[in-house]
Chains A and B, each alone.
Chain A
């Protein structure tokens, strides 16, 4: 079992819809959780981070964390074609080590 698991996709949504991306992790000692967006051939770009259980909203993005279920998700509202990318979930331990999932590829169709 991988330490951080994501559905590889591809996930396809129409423009304007809500895209829902999910991530589970195995280390209960994980302290912080990050979502990155990565365009093909580029490096990861931080979208959001979340530390506490519950929801955190930033513009069209909402991160949700449930530590009891070891689950973190990212919702993208009003999806745009420019949101088409691979979304990486990363989990940090107290030592600062980041463990990444293999990403979910999102395609937003006009």
Chain B
């Protein structure tokens, strides 16, 4: 157990809809990252939040957005869902003390299927 939880576990949506995925980080972890993992691929970095501000983003369009809250929870929002958005969405939290060497802990993931 990593102490990181995600909800829901599974989700089915139709193309064009919007979805919100949730993550609860370990207490004290000030940084949360979100990843998209398509079948047979490694996780792809979507974005990272540090102290409630986005401070890094991968090659994902603006319809992928997020929020981080003071209570160590965060959200990933995806608008105008496309079929290719079907994937496992992972959040990972860590305490950023400086540099990039801090270990991150993954939640169990949310499996999103877009029909």
Inside 8 A of B108's CB, which chain A residues have their CB? 42-43
Residues of A within 8 A of B62 (CB): none
In the bound complex, CA of A96 to CA of B42 (Å): 17
Q: How many residues of B contact A (CB 8 A)?
A: 29
Residue of A nearest to B41 (CB): A102
Which residues of A approach B to under 8 Å, CB–CB? 4, 31-32, 34, 42-46, 49, 51, 88, 90, 92-103
The 4 A-B pairs with the shortest beta carbon distances in the complex, nearest first, are A100-B42, A32-B101, A92-B100, A96-B100
Whether B90 lies near A96 (C-beta < 8 A) is no
Q: Is the CB of B101 within 8 A of A88?
A: no
For residue B104, which residue of chain A has the nearest CB?
Answer: A98
Say yes or no for B102: interface residue by CB 8 A criterion: yes
Q: Does B33 contact A (CB under 8 A)?
A: yes
Contact B99–A44 (Cβ < 8 Å)? no
